Structure 1
Amino acid sequence: MQEEQHDNLHVESTTADGHETQNELDIVNEAVEAIESLNAEVSEDATIEESHDIPMKDYEALDMDKLVLELEHLVSDDKVMAIRNHVEEIKQAFLSKYNHFIDEKREEFLHENPNSIEEFEYHFPLKTKFDSLYNNYKNKKNTHFKSLESALKDNLQKRLAIIEELKTLVNPSENIKDALKHFNDLRERWKNAGPIPKDKYNHVWNNYHFHVENFYDILHLDREARDLDFKHNLDQKLKIIARAKDLLNEHDVFKAFRELQSLHKIWKEEIGPVSRDHREEIWNQFSEITKQMHDKRESMFGQMREIEQQNLDKKNEIIAKIEAIATEKVEVHTGWQAQINKIEALREEFFSTGKVPAEVNEQTWNDFKTAVRNFNAHKNSFYKDIKKEQQANLDKKNALVARARELQESEDFAATTPIMKQIQEEWKKIGHVPKKFSDSVWAEFKEACNHYFDRLHAVRNQNEEVEIVAFDNKKEYLEKIKEFEFTGNHKADLDAIKAHIETWKGFGKVPFARRHIEGKFNKVLDALFEKLSSSKKEAEMMRFNNRIEQLGTDTRKIDSEKIFIQRKIEEVQNEIFQLENNIQFFANAKNDNPMVIEVKKNIERHKEELATWKEKLKQLRNM
C-alpha cells in the first residue's frame, strides 16, 4: 500500500502553504508504529488479543489465598497466551508475599530454637497448590508454543508461496479477466493463511503489498475493473475512518485503542489500495486519528503512573510507621500485643495499596521487609526473656499437678480439702506457660482436682442425708426438753440436764444451713442452768463444754475461741491488779469500812471469774 509506505518517507519541514512539519510527522509515525508493533505481535498468536477481555486486577492487593483462587480460575482456561500477563502478575504478587511469610516463620524458628542444628523447614499447603497450578500453566504454555511454532512456519511458507504466485500475474500478455480472478483467489488465500512469526510480519506484508500494487498498475488495460475496485476500497476505508472518529469519544480508552488496532489490521491486510488521488489524503486522516487516540492512551498511562506514584508515597509512609514502631520501648506483654496488632494492620494496608512504579517496586518491597524484620527482631528479644519466665511457670504448675495427684485419693477430707483449695489458689497466681503446653498442663491439673472434689461432694451428699435426719430428731427433742421440770434435788436435776446434753449430742451434726437449732438448744440450757441451784462456775463450765463440743474439729474456730479467752484472762487480771492497787489507799482504814469491804468482794469475784476463764483455756488446749 502506497499510503502506508508514504509515512516512512522523509518530508521537509512545513512551508507557508501549511504542510506538516517533520516533527509533527514523526509524532504521527510514532503512533502508527505503536499500532503496527502491537498488531505484529497479535498476528503471531491470535490468543494474545483475547487477553484484553480479561480484566487486569490489582493482584498485589490480594492475599495469598485469593491469589491462588485467581490462578486456579485462569489456568482452567486453555488460552494460555490470553492469560500469560495475568499469571505472571499473580506469580510476582504471590511469591513476594510467600517469601515474606517464610522469612517470618524462619525468624520464629530461630528465636524458639536458638541452639538447634536442624535445618528450618516449613510445609505450606497453599504454596504446594500454587506450584501445581503454575506448573500446569507452564506445561500448557510449552505445548502451545510447540504447536504454534510449527503452525507459524507452515503459514509463513504459504504466504511466501502466495507472493511468488503474485509475481507471475504481472504479465501483460495474460488474459486480464483470468488474471483478476486468480488475483482475487490469492487475496482470499492470503486472508486465511494464518499467523506468521512477528519478526517476519512487516517484511512479508510489505513484499506482498508491493506485488499487489504492481498488479494494480497493469490493470490500466482494464481501467473499468480497476476503478470499481478502487472505489470499493475507498468506501471501506472511509468507513474505517468514520468508525475511528467515533472511537475518540469512547469512554474506555483502552478498549477503543484495541478496536483501533483491529481497524489498522483490516486497513492493512483486508482492503486493497485506492486511487493515487485519494491515497495520501485518507491515510493522513486515519493517521491523525491514530495520533489522537495514541495521545489519549498515553494520557491514561500518565494518570496511571500518577496513581502508582501516590501508592509509592503511601507505602513509604507505611514503612516509616513500621520503622518508628520498631524503635519504641515496650516492656510488657500487653504492650507488645498492641504493637503486633499495629504492625499487622500496617501490613494489611501495605498489601492492599495498589501498584507502584515498576522501577522502584523491588526496592520498596525490600524496604518493607527490612522494616518488618527489624520489628520482629526487637519483639523476639523481649519474648526470649518471657520464654524463660514461662518455662519456670511451667515447672511450678507441673509441681502443683504432681501434688494434686498425690492428694486426689485422700480419705481425710477435713485435712485435705483446705490443702487442695490452697493448691488451686497458688495455680491462679502463676503466670503464663509456653503455649504448646498450656492446654495439656491445665487438663492434667483440672482432672486431678475434679477427681478429688467429685469424691468429696459424693461423701458430703451422703452425710447431708444423715444430717437432715439429725436435724429432724433435734427439732423434735427441743420441744421435749422445753417441758423439763426441776425436782428440787440438785444432783438429780444436774444429772438430768447432763443426760439431755448427751442425748442431743448423740443425734449428730445437722446441715450447715440449719445450725440455728444449736443456738436454740443453748438458750434452753442457759435458762435451765439459771434455775438450777448449782455453783455459777459449774453451770458456766457445763455450758462451755457443750458449746466447744459443737465446734468439732474446726481448727479455725477453736483458735479464734482461744484468742478470745486469752484476751478475757488479760482483762480480768488487769482488773484484779487495779483493784489491789486501789485497796492500798485504804491501808489505814478499818476492816469494817464499807468501801474496803466492797473492793475486797470485787477482787474475789474477779478471781473466781479468772479461774473459770483459765479452766476454759485449759480444756481448749487439751482438745
Structure 2
Amino acid sequence: QEELKIQRGNLQAKEALIEELRTLIQDEENIGRAFNQFNEIRERWNEVGDVPRDQYSRTQTEFSRLQETFYYNISIYKELADHDKKVNLKKKKELVAQVRALEKENNIQELDRAVKGLIKKWDDIGATFQHEWEVVKEEFWGEARKHIAKVNDHYEHQRAQMAENLEKKKALIKQVEDIAEKDRSKRKEWNNSTDKVLAIQEAWKKVGFSKENESVWKEFREACDRFFDAKKEFYKGQSEVYEARKGKKLELIKKAEELSASTDWKDTADQLINLQKDWKEIGPTFQKDENKLWKQFRSHCDSFFNARNRSFKEREKEEKENLKVKEDIIERIKAFTPSDAKAQNLETLKGFSQEWNQIGHVPFKQKDRIYKEYKEALDKHYKQLRLDDQEKRSIAMQHKLDSIKNDPRSVNREKQHIRRQIDKLAQDIKQYENNLGFFNDRSGKNPLMIEVEKKIDRNKKRIDELKQMLKMIDKASV
C-alpha cells in the first residue's frame, strides 16, 4: 500500500511535467530559453520514480510524443545536419530490432527492465527525417506497447493469485482456530486433532505468497501456538510420561532387531548409533523395566557389530588376495609387446582393463599405489599407439571410470560435469546460429561465416563424444 501511494504521487508529478512541456511547446518562442526549460523538465522527469503499472504506458507515450513535437516545433532543430538525422534514424531502427528481440524474453522482471531501458534510449536519441518518423515510431511503439501489456497482464494475474491465496490462508486460520477451541479429555482426541493441525500446516506451505503475507502468517502461527500450548498443558504432570517413554524404547528395540541381521555395514552402523542416541534422549522409564529393555536393545546392537567385525576380517583376507592378482596383471601389462596392428593392440589393452575391473577391492592403504602402477603401465603402451584425440579422451574417461565407479557420488559429479559441458556447447551453437543471421553475404564465400559454421560442426561433434561418455558411465554403473 505504501509503494502504491508513492507511485500515485509520482503519477501526479509526471502528469504535471507533461502539462508543463505542452505549455512550453505552445507558448515559448525564445529558442535558448525553450531548450533550457525543456532540459530542466527532462531532468525532473527522470528523477521521478515509478508510476502505477496501468498508467505507465499512457504517461510515457504522451511524454515521448511531446518530446518529439518539441524537437520538430523549435526552429533551431531544422538547422541540424542531415547526417545527425541519418544517425538518429539508424539508432532508432536498432532500437526497433532490440525491442522486437524481447519477444523471446520470458523473465517478466527482465522484460520490464529492458523495455523501460529501450524507451529511455529512444527518448534520448532525438528526431529524424519527418517522412521516416511515423513508420519507425509505429514499429517501435507497437512492439513496446505489446511488451508493456504483457508485463501488466502478468502482474495483474499475480495480484489476483495473491488475493486468492489470502482467502485460502484465512480459511486455514479459521480451521485451526475451530480445532483449538474444541474441548478434549482423551489422548486419542488430542492425537487426532494434532494430525489435523499438522495437515493444515502442510496445506499452508503449499498455498504460496499472498497479500498481507506477514500479518496472516502471524495469525496462523498464533492459532497453532494456542492449540499446541493447550496440548502441552494437557500432558503436563501426567503419570503417563514413563509409559510413553517405554513405548518409544520398545520401538527402538524393534528397529534394532530389524537392523541386526543387515550386512550393509556402514549405513546400518550409522542407523544403530543414531538409535543409541535416541535411546539416551528419551530418558528413563519405569525402574522395573529399564534394565530389561536396555539388555534387549544392547543385545541386538552387539549382534550386528560382532558380525561386522567378523566380516571385516574375512574381507581383509580377500583384499590381500585381490592385491596379488592385480600385481600379476600389472606385470603382464609391462611384459606385453605390441604388434603392428593398432586395433589388435587396443583390444589387448582393453582386455587387461576388463580383467582389472572384474577384481574386487584391495587393502585401502595399497589402493592408490596399485592403481598408479596399473595406469602408468597402460599409459606407456597407449602413448606408443599414436591415438587420435577422440580415442585419447575415450581411454582417459575409461581410466577415470575405473577409479570412481565404486563411488556413486563421484560418478554423479562426473555426469553433472559432462552435462554442463553439453549445455554450454549447445548454448554456443545457438549463439553461432543466431550470428549467421547477421551475414548479408550467404553465398558461402564469406570467411567469417565459414569459420562460424566450422565452430558449429566442432561443437556438435564434441557433444556427440560427451553423450557417448555419459553412456559409458551409465554402462559402468550398472
TM band (smaller chain): 0.3 to 0.5
Q: TM-score, normalised by structure 2?
A: 0.43
Q: Find the structure with the greater CA-based Rg.
A: 1
Give the TM-score of the pair, scaled to structure 1.
0.34
